Structure 1
Amino acid sequence: MIDETAQLALPVTESPEVGTSIELFTGGGGLAMAMHNVGFRHLVAVELDKRACATLRGNVAEPFDPEVGQAIDLGSPWPLIEGDVHKVDFTRWLGEVDVVAGGVPCQPWSLGGAHKGYDDSRNLWPELFRVVRETSPRAVIAENVKGLLRPSFKPYYDYILNALRAPFEEPVEGEDWVDHDKRLRKALIKDAVKLTESYDVKYLLVNAADYGVPQVRWRVFVVAFRRDLGLGDWEFPKPTHSEASLLRAQADGSYWDEHKVKKRYQYVPEVTGGGEGTARWRTLRDAINGDPVRKEPKLGEPVGDKVEHPKHLHHYGWPGARQYPGHMPNLLDRPAKTVKAGVHGVPGGETVLQRDDGSIRYMTVREVSRVMTFPDHWRLEGPRGEQMRQLGNAVPVVLGEAIANSVTAALKSSKTAQA
């Protein structure tokens, strides 16, 4: 069991329990935290990376133990299996799972990776399909990088969608994905798949900034509902924030007044149309100054290089910041650039911040956590590079909440219709 200190770090949520979930490829916990905040009780979380598992155990998780009662209520620690998802039998949770969720590892599809796609051993989409077969969830939420939509990967991406539409039409031994896809298409065309064994599937490329995350981050979400629920008309939530609204707030001065920015550092951008009815994009300055709704205090400057701030966890400077072509600094009054996860952590040039006076420094781990919308109490384990890598691999919590809330509303409407 986790100790009392760790239990105090469980995310605070005022939401009532809305259902149960299995969290795959949990990483540092972004999507899992979003699901928890919306009201899903995690029956189990699975993660292979030892540093990410240490982070989860240090905050919210305990080792999975099939012999004791776990995940009793929404406030329970998350049962965590540290290990290879291929070796986990999920059949014990058949019929108990509302949602299977996970950020499928992005390296095979990342624009910054080797682009091996389905030939990459880290392609874990087939494991997601297996978990769906073994648990028959009411819904599935999967997240992946924009690179998944690259034209060269389109045939396999179409196969992913078909395999999720009919996950129980599993591949036979020795069958490659091309032949399996042909069988899937035939079964789907003939409508030969049972409603309880097939899914309505939707996907969308979204920008996290459009949902209140202070970061430009393009990601693909795939959402599926079991067809017997009759939710085939579900649509992704509409953007709640816009660049146009940010530009208007900067042009009319309200943005600068809110942050008490000195006149010499203000500017009047060219205003574009659109964005009516949306909040403004949140900026890096917003993230550093704190979100009153999330009760975040202003961070201010780090007190020194490699010196932990006395009031803010992981808020310490790092020496050697520089900018160079292709790696220009983040600007305070725009959303941050995409937080990336390199092999040894977020690439250095991607986390440089330009102050108002034009000088630069590295962003702190806490500032990057804010950009990923993790709460300030969330402790990341490992050295700085590993902490940054966990953040770069994560789903921004606020973006995950937007998707999870929409899925929750659909599942509730289905229950109401069936009552």
Structure 2
Amino acid sequence: MIQFLLKGIIRDKNRSVLPVIVISIGVFLTVLFSAWFKGIFGDMINVNANFSTGHVKIMTRAYADNAEQMPNDLALMEAGQLINSLNAEFPTLEWVERIHFGGLLDVPGENGETRAQGMATGQGIDFFTPGSREPERMNIPGSIVQGGLPDQPGEALISNDFAERFNVKIGDPITLFGSTMYGGMAFSNFTVAGTVRFGMRALDRGAILIDITDAQAALDMADAAGEILGYFKDGQYDAEQALQVKTAFNAKYEADTDEFAPQMLRLNDQQGLDEYLAMADYISGGMTFLFILAMSIVLWNTGLLGGLRRYNEFGVRLAMGEEKNHIYRTLIIESLLIGTIGSVIGTILGLAAAYYLQEYGINFGSAIQGGGMMMPEVFRADITPESFYIGFIPGLFSMALGTALSGIGIYKRRTAVLFKELSV
């Protein structure tokens, strides 16, 4: 019977073309926007995790209360010993030290006098430890515009925008002015090893990246770290597993009332990211429901118009003895076939458009200036296994629902007046 109905769909274009077009458009939009929103929210989460929050983060309680100020005077002491303990207790995570700092970058002239100065926000990360994944995690190799990674102490990366603004070249000396962990004046000389552009205005305005040991020396933070970040070794954030790790760690220090006691936070607990994660799920589900509802209404009307056009056809079939239930069932099966055809076409088109957005994205740099949350300037789609089937949900369901609603009229036909209606 399915083969018979499929032939009818192919031969009778008036019966199938409009529903297939409607479903294809709806499925196309569902697949495209589902992949795009997943890509946008996924990039937001990854950028914040890699640059700031980690999958879990450990700070002192006092530091956590003032984290936006980067208060290194409230940093974790004996960080090396704490990391060794974490590696033994939570081996599924990779633990790294980070130091965030702010300061003034001084660019000397030929005679050693100040030629230019600018504010800078810096990070100390692990560049030199063999096997360190910190540069790749922050996509530093892919963000280098000139020069290369630091390969010895005393070298630094600065933002390309800063370098262009003050005409800083590779190999030029710069001086970082800041404050030590104990509130004293800090100044250290570095050599520019390269320039970077991350595509995030918060970093590109004036960033400096140095090795964690250089940061500890410059800021008088021997064996100290502002933050210790943990990343799952498979690279995927698991909220439930992160909650278990957080609960187990914080339970050890629950009775300790010292403001310098370590405290662990999940990615969800920081910078409002929990709301963003929930929003991503709501948008995906709400968008699917919206397209189901909209397409069902359109296809209901299409079915009603088709029912008027096929009014005599149904009458003949009833007059020949075909049961109403059988006619109704064939309509539903026919609608599922049309829905499948439209869903396949819409999914292919949606995946093609999503692939383009995944590769090239859309630049929203001017629209996201001044945000407190790190966001990529280029919003890209992310094609996941869900992208291959999510379009079939509204495609099949809406077509079947629209046909089911419009087909109810079959049961209102009275056999006694069929011959009169058919003018026989």
- For normalisation by structure 2, the TM-score amounts to 0.25
Higher RCO structure, 1 or 2 (CA under 8 Å, sep 6+)? 2
Which one has the largest radius of gyration? 2
User: Per residue, is there more strand in 1 or in 2?
Assistant: 2
| Structure 1 length-normalised TM | 0.25
